[in-house]
Structure 1
Amino acid sequence: MDDFPPAPRRRRAMPTIGRSAERTGTGPAARRPRAALVAAALSAAAVAAAGLPGTASATADAAPPWCAGKGPLAARMLPTTIDIAECDLRGRVVTGAGGLSATVPRDGTSVAAHWLRTDGAAELRIQFDDRTNRIVIRTGGMRAPQGRPRGARAPQDACTDGRYRTQPSKWPKGTTVQWRYHTGGTGRASTTVARGVSNAVDAHTDCRSDGQFNPLPNVSARYLGASAQPPNLTSAAACGRRDGVNTFGWLAMAAAEGNVLAATCSWSSGPTTVETDMALQTQGRRWWTGAGSCPQGAFSTTAVATHETGHVLGLSHVSGAGGSNLTMAPRLGPCDNGPSTLGKGDYDGLIALYGAR
């Protein structure tokens, strides 16, 4: 057997920890370049920390103070128009007039929220502009006067009052809005809510002997049955995240203001509505179906549902004491069943939005 001589053993190179790969000397001449490198590095770090142009920190602007944190944001503290690059609000909660809140959609849609209260109403609109990548926030509240203020006009007859206000979005003309009903554990049938929806889309009125304005607005609705899922609102009556289903019905909004009767949320893509949810308050409220005498302090389910369907279709609250007899007035009192049928302004608003069938 041939014996191979052992391979010569190589000296292991010692690691040059803390040394330049090119200079490993220890004399003064070798230390000077190293000191220069350290000084240059410290100088660059100081420049970066100062945020001077051309540094990494200068490319990432700090969020403005009003954008800090992850909790709810008060609309009154925010600019009306917000650039997402400056403060990305998507997924955060914005609180508007009267405590009305909504979660800013993450999917690029806009959201409009409406409250109907015993003493007035509130609106919050969070509109996303995909062309400019900006969000516009508008909010407002309407308090119904107690009694008739001095010098104010008497409420106009709903059959001659042509005032109305519309939202920036609506369903496409000719749409059939398909919706499901949620009982909210109340055991109530869908009948009275469905009647309110029909009163709006089919323009039922007490202003004509035949009980209907003509021509009908070019929009309709279809009931698809019950839903185990509640409307996409929180216990504080805030708009949550949409799920692609239009759900109308009952919800225990225990954390909402005590005077809230109902809330409606509408999501839209540009000028086109894509989903709406409507919730009537079960917490601490008595409701009247319209049959028999009205229990003291109860509210008409059909009247409230007709009003909220106005929001579903793109109507906003009318302002001024003179319009208090219209369905879209910002207040509804106990046992008041009048708003369950449309006034002239309510009908004119739907025709302005959808034209005639």
Structure 2
Amino acid sequence: MKINHRPVKIVLAISLTAIALPVASPAVRADEREISPTSVEQCAPQKTVAVAESRKLVRFTDCDLRGRTVLGSRGITVTVPRTGTSVTAQALHRDGSSRLTATVNVRAGEVEINQEVQTAPTRSKIGRAAALDKCADGAYNRNQYRQNGAYKWYYYPGSVWESGIPDDPINRYPFIALDLGMSSGAMAPNDCGLPWAKGQSWNQGDTGFQPNVGLNGGCTGANGINSVGWMRLSSAAPSLLAVTCTWSSNGIATETDVAMRTGDGVLWWYDDSGTGFTGERATTALCPAGRYYAEAVAAHEAGHVFGLAHVTGEQHANLTMYPTIDTCDLGPSRYGRGDNLGIVSIYGKQ
């Protein structure tokens, strides 16, 4: 069985109405085509522009996407920045992942759209033994941004009451799970004997500002606050578990938000039988069937926060940045060799 890593063909739609583009000459590659001038009148304000290709350049003069919402595959969306910056949405699903990036180049007068969709079986379907040992697998992929210094983030409790994790002022387990996950992205803790990374994750307290993620799980507009927390994403694809939105300029993240989904059948779990980075301290027997370890998913999302992309191929299923995660699987909370090497390549080792 192989992961279906599929680029998709070009389609441009406005809102819910599909609009066919003029057929290009066979000599022109699809990913090199621009939106034709005849599409300008189709690019009405306040409409969502659906793009279903792997790469697309759109000129301002043909269709100015700045400030507009772009819809990619699996329902993922981003609001295109108005300035010369990038926004990247990275969504984790029960059966794979999706990523959509919009980069504004004011000097060139264009917006570049890139997206990637992956479907992947979980570790339990593959069998851990069928994949490479996590301490022998050195694979990693990087995004085109990094944090500049410490990642200073705020915790957004939001809809934590729907998470399924007990929460009270003394034992703030939902917060602890996310805090541990963010720290994993910064330091790449592992059981492989590898040096930890020098990234830094600093929680700044709670906030009433929710992550800049819409109800559909897409990235909206940045506000300069790094917010990580629990949200109802009632209009998102049923398979969506979590999403990370990053705004960046010249390769430096200016804001990164993480939304952990609650409701709609998504339930979470946290085990407090150990402390800190002491290894896989919990067993699946402690986790109610059908739930996801919040710390493990947060560690995956933190990989995106600190600059990692997904690794593809079933042989990499034991790595944290594999493009999906199993229920009751705490394993991804501890980074594998490739996960660690990726973070260390960006921030250096301790």
TM-score scaled to structure 1, two decimals? 0.76
* Partner amino acid, structure 2, of 1:236: N
Instruction: Kindly indicate whether the alpha-carbon contact (under 8 Å) linking 1:290 and 1:302 is maintained by their aligned counterparts in 2.
Output: no
Deviation by residue 1:149-185 (Cα, 9 ceiling, x = unmatched): 9xxx92111111011111111123xx01100001113
* Alignment partner, residue 177 of structure 2: 192
- SS for the counterpart of 2:137 is coil
- Partner residue of 1:224 out of 177, 199, 204: 204
2:233 corresponds to 1:253: yes
Instruction: Within 5 Å, give how 1:66-77 maps onto structure 2.
Output: 67-76=43-52
Deviation by residue 1:87-127 (Cα, 9 ceiling, x = unmatched): 21011111112111111112332101111111111111111
* Alignment partner, residue 299 of structure 1: 292
* Alignment partner, residue 20 of structure 2: none
* Alignment partner, residue 81 of structure 2: 105
- Partner residue of 2:270 out of 289, 298, 320: 289
- Structure exhibiting the larger radius of gyration computed from Cα positions: 1
Instruction: Within 5 Å, give how 1:1-357 maps onto structure 2.
Output: 64=40, 67-76=43-52, 80-145=56-121, 147-148=125-126, 154-172=130-148, 175-187=149-161, 188=167, 189=172, 190-208=175-193, 213-214=194-195, 216-283=196-263, 284-291=265-272, 293-357=286-350
* Alignment partner, residue 4 of structure 1: none
* Partner amino acid, structure 2, of 1:249: G
* Partner amino acid, structure 2, of 1:106: R
Superposition RMSD in Å? 2.0
1: CA distance, partners of 2:197 / 2:55: 37
* Partner amino acid, structure 2, of 1:237: G
- SS for the counterpart of 1:347 is helix
2: CA distance, partners of 1:331 / 1:244: 29
Deviation by residue 1:26-49 (Cα, 9 ceiling, x = unmatched): xxxxxxxxxxxxxxxxxxxxxxxx
TM-score scaled to structure 2, two decimals? 0.77
Task: State the identity %.
Answer: 34
1: CA distance, partners of 2:327 / 2:40: 46
* Partner amino acid, structure 2, of 1:121: S
Structure 1 unaligned blocks of 5 or more: 1-60
**Which consecutive aligned stretches of 4+ in structure 1 deviate over 6 angstroms post-superposition?**
none
* Alignment partner, residue 15 of structure 1: none
1: CA distance, partners of 2:319 / 2:107: 37
Larger deviation: 285-294 or 327-336?
285-294
Query: Offset at 1:79?
Result: 6.9
How many residues were matched structurally? 287
